[in-house]
Amino acid sequence: MNYSYLSGFIYCFGDGVGEFLGDEEKSHHCVLGLREVVCGYIDERGLLSAVILGVQIRSCIKRNMSLDGLAYVDPPFNQDTSFPEEYFEGDLYDFLTSVLGLLDAEIKARGQKVFHRLIGRR
């Protein structure tokens, strides 16, 4: 399966936490929390991308879960994107399920706003 949305999100997360910055740049970087990264991702890419990201996360978990936990597989995780555990408490499974929870909540809230706009309620 092509995990382009999940790979893109991991890069967004890396940008938010300053993973790709040099040491001096990191010292001046304001690290974003997971909720801020998820909301920023949806703001930039829209609800449809958020829904597809959720589908890809669920698929990745389903296909790569083992008794030892969720494996880092390429794609979507390669040398450049195997860092979430360094910035998030827990393992890769915990990270991805937390992202899913935040995505689902944001999709529901924003979807209701869109629906209310469509039917003329504020």
Q: Give the type of residue at 40.
A: G
Give the pLDDT of the chain (122 residues) as one tens digit per residue.
689 999 999 999 999 999 988 888 988 888 899 999 999 999 999 999 999 999 999 999 999 998 888 888 877 787 777 788 888 888 899 999 999 999 999 999 988 887 777 887 66
Q: What is the pTM of this model?
A: 0.85
Long-range contacts of 97-104 (CB under 8 A, 24+ apart): 97/61, 98/34, 99/9, 99/34, 99/38, 99/57, 100/54, 100/57, 100/58, 102/34, 102/35, 102/38, 103/38, 103/42, 103/50, 103/53, 103/54, 103/57, 104/54
